[in-house]
Amino acid sequence: MQTPVFIDDLPDISTVASRKSDHYRQTRNRALAEMLLDDAVSWHERACPACGQSRDLSRNFSQALMPFQRCSACNTIYAARVPDQSHLDGQRLRLLDELPPETADKPKRPREFEYISILNWIRLTEARSGHSLGKVLDYRFSSQAPSWPDAVTRLGTHRDWSFLPLAADGETGFDDLRDRLQAETPDAVLLYGEMDRVADPAALLRVVRANLPRGSLVFIATSCADGLEYEILGADSPSFVPLDRLNIFSVEGFSQMVRELGYTALEVSTPGRLDAVILQHYFTEIENADVPFWSGFFRSANKDRLRDLQILLQRSLRSGVMRFVLET
């Protein structure tokens, strides 16, 4: 299993500050509050979605809006009660309708970087693993990033891509995915930022594995609970938006879950680029609190020190974003 390190330039602080705007957070928190008050939404209590450890043995992570726990066995952070998938999808569709559209002339560099990074990831995996990935199915990322399909065409990959956007669906929420997998049998499926948001992540991965031939690949990018940001700031982390982060898996927890589902992990990495910059922004712009060592470190760190730290986090699987390549 490889843990590649991605040494990139650190992004500009302005891209981080605008990444999760206050308005976006408030919109998401309002949506969550509406769901909590809506009798039509059914909620279910759950144990750790990664390793199954009982909630009673976990630690409190946040009680704001609804309870989040941190699993003491695998370190995964999770909502202890989750809404049914069809209401989750409905709320998300409404939010996407409200967001201003991504236009071609908008500054698109941060996202462009992300897109190139995804395409390179698939290309390198194909070369390293010897799998031929001619047909790739993207599940729902095109809804979150409407310019993504354009970028795939423009950046000229020689692959047959298909996109399955978020849609209001039936009871389970994954029937559209099952049908598409059976109809197209892609060589690979991309689940980018999706594992954080679904009520039953294991169910999603079960649908994927049950409807693909053995030897297919699944590319997954998700938040990482082992990231330094969550370790230092906990629920104050700027990246923590409860409705978008129902599951924040740890490397260990996610590895265990996919193994139990029958997958083989070909690659695990935490290639996040933003942890150091987010934390510096937090300690210099948002919060005066003194956290031993870290507040002083971030207030005095220059760009080279931040870059050194970010590389260390990537190498030690401690960045806030993780990637898995799984084989069915």
Where does this chain bind Zn ion (CB under 5 A)?
A: 48, 50-51, 53, 71, 73-74, 76, 253
Cα–Cα distance measured from residue 25 to residue 290, given in angstroms and rounded to the nearest whole number: 25
* Nearest approach, Cβ of residue 50 and Zn ion (Å): 5
Residue 61 identity (one-letter amino acid): F
SS3 133: coil
CB of 48: closest distance to Zn ion in angstroms?
A: 3
How far apart are the C-alpha atoms of 188 and 192, rounded to whole Å?
13
* Min CB(229)–Zn ion separation in Å: 19
CB of 55 to Zn ion, least distance (A): 10
Question: Nearest-CA neighbor of 301 among 10, 5, 6, 17?
Answer: 10
Q: What are 203's two structure tokens?
A: 């169910």
The 3-state DSSP class for residue 226 equals coil
Considering the complex, what minimum distance in angstroms separates the CB of residue 71 from Zn ion?
3
Nearer to Zn ion, 189 or 257 (CB): 257
* Rounded Cα–Cα distance for residues 134 and 214 (Å): 16
Q: Which is nearer to Zn ion, 217 or 268 (CB)?
A: 268
Which CB sits closer to Zn ion, 48 or 326? 48
Nearer of residues 71 and 79 to Zn ion, judged by Cβ: 71
81-83/43-45 β-pairing: antiparallel
Query: Cα separations (Å) of 125 from 1, 208, 211, 292?
Result: 12, 19, 22, 40
Considering the complex, state which of residue 78 and residue 139 has its C-beta at the smaller distance from Zn ion.
78
Q: How far is the CB of 225 from Zn ion (least distance, A)?
A: 10
- Where helices occur in the chain by DSSP H, the ranges are 13-17, 22-37, 85-98, 109-129, 141-144, 148-154, 175-184, 201-210, 228-233, 251-260, 275-281, 294-300, 303-315
- Whether residue 47 contacts residue 54, with contact meaning beta carbons closer than 8 Å, is answered with yes
Nearer to Zn ion, 51 or 152 (CB): 51
- Residue 216 CA to chain centroid, in angstroms? 21
Element (H, E) at 241: none
Our CB check for Zn ion shows the closer of 51 and 274 to be 51
The distance of closest approach from Cβ of residue 77 to Zn ion in the complex, given in angstroms and rounded to an integer, is: 10
Complex with Zn ion: residue 14 or 72, whichever CB lies closer: 72
Nearest approach in angstroms of CB 75 to Zn ion is 7
The sign one gets for the Cα dihedral 14, 77, 306, 298 is: positive
Q: Are 74 and 256 in contact (CB under 8 A)?
A: yes
Q: Are the C-beta atoms of 124 and 212 separated by less than 8 Å?
A: no
| Shortest Å distance, C-beta 29 to Zn ion | 26
Tokens for 64? 């704001």
- Residue nearer to Zn ion on the CB measure, 71 or 122: 71
